């Protein structure tokens, strides 16, 4: 059993799916967690992809920051675990 | 014709046993939407909360005293793999609901780690669902939901909540973790109810 090997990837793993939704690269964006108030660049999120959808969790408290489910007709984006996403206006 | 047909050994069952859009797998893929909870049996508790707020509780010892059943069922995951004739041991929900007075129609299953999934109560009763704690003759591994998971094999596997810690009865069909993000509220693999609106 390999239970203690992390089963998540870092936030960069979510970049492709999120670029299709936002048309910006979110990996450098700052996200604030509604669970613990921790803010960090999105690339530091723990991203679980071996699941029915993609789930990004706070590296501080494991709160769900964001979920993306792609169905044949729609993409569902749940951002309720983020107080904000801060995206720089200067590239 | 061979002496032992594939049907006799239980092996080599064909794709015709599979719901639409599924493929057969021999291994047991691990899906997880978060870190794997490691709950020791001595810290484990299972509860059923009725719509009136009445709580029924079992610790591991009390749970182990309930009559257990051997279960062999096919599993169908919404990510399109199916695994046939998997062997489990667990306690039927009929046994757990024996002293539960309820008129509720719906259940929200809650797991250690925060996962939830919603089901109609009638899908958990009459020999259709278990709290399973052994897989293939071994204690259920944490990565597959141990020490105990819900097993509702006639629905897509996301309904069989891993690390289950309780059921909350309700008069309303509220939506669980995946159901609030586009997955079907019921999830019948034979009707291919993958996504909301299917
Ligand atoms: Zn947090």
d(CA A23, CA A12) in angstroms, rounded, equals 15
CA nearest to B181 within chain A: A76
Using 50, 70 and 90 to split pLDDT, how confident is the model at B2? very low
d(CA B116, CA B140) in angstroms, rounded, equals 20
Which of A8, A52, A55 minimises the CB distance to B79?
A52
The pLDDT of residue A22: 78
- pLDDT tens-digit series, residues A7-53: 899 888 888 778 877 778 888 899 999 999 999 999 999 999 999 99
- pLDDT tens-digit series, residues B151-161: 999 999 999 99
The pLDDT of residue A21: 78
State mean pLDDT over B158-170.
Answer: 98
Which of A6, A52, A72 is best to mutate for the B interface (most B CBs within 10 A)? A52
Distance of CA B160 to the CA centre of its chain: 2
Per the CB < 8 A criterion, the answer to whether B55 and B45 are in contact is no
User: Which residues in chain B (44-73) have CB-CB distances under 8 A to chain A?
Assistant: none
- Interface touch B35/A3, C-beta < 8 Å: no
CA-based nearest distance A30→chain B, Å: 21
- For the entire predicted model, the pTM comes to 0.91
**Torsional sign, CA B57, B61, B62, B63:** positive
Q: Measured between CB atoms, does B32 come within 8 Å of chain A?
A: yes
Chain B positions in Cβ-Cβ contact with residue A76 (cut-off 8 Å):
181-182
The pLDDT of residue B6: 41
d(CA A24, CA A72) in angstroms, rounded, equals 23
3-state helix, strand, coil in chain B (%, to 5): 15, 30, 50
State mean pLDDT over B9-37.
Answer: 83
**Can you list the domains of chain B with their CATH numbers?**
23-191 (3.90.420.10)
- If 0-12 CB within 10 Å is exposed, 13-18 middle and 19+ buried, where does residue B90 land? buried
- pLDDT tens-digit series, residues B25-57: 999 999 999 999 999 999 999 999 999 999 999
The pLDDT > 90 percentage for chain B reads: 91
């Amino acid at each position: 059993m390999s239970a203690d090997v992390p089963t998540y990837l870092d936030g960069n793993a979510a970049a492709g799916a999120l670029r299709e939704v936002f048309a910006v690269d979110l990996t450098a964006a700052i996200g604030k967690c509604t669970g613990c108030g921790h803010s960090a660049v999105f690339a530091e999120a723990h991203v679980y992809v071996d699941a029915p959808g993609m789930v990004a969790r706070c590296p501080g408290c494991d709160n769900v920051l964001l979920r993306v489910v792609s169905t044949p007709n729609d993409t569902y984006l749940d951002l309720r675990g983020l107080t904000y996403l801060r995206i720089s206006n200067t590239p | 014709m061979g002496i032992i047909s594939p049907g006799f050994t239980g092996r080599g069952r064909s794709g015709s046993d599979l719901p639409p859009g599924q493929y057969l797998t021999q291994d047991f893929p691990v899906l997880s939407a978060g870190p794997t909870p490691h709950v020791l049996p001595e810290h484990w508790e299972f509860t059923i909360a009725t719509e009136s707020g009445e709580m029924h509780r079992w610790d591991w010892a009390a749970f182990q005293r309930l009559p257990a059943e051997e279960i062999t069922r096919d599993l169908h995951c919404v990510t399109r793999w199916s695994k046939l004739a998997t062997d489990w041991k667990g306690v039927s929900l009929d046994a757990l609901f024996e002293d539960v007075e309820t008129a509720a129609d719906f259940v929200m299953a809650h797991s250690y780690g925060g996962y939830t999934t919603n089901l109609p109560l009638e899908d958990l009763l009459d020999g259709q669902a278990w709290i399973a704690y052994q897989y293939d003759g071994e204690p259920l591994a944490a990565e597959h939901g141990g020490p105990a998971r819900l097993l509702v094999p006639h629905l897509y596997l996301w309904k069989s909540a891993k690390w289950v810690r309780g059921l909350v009865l309700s008069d309303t069909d509220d939506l669980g973790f995946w159901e609030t993000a586009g997955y079907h509220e019921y999830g019948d693999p034979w009707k291919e109810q993958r996504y909301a609106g299917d």
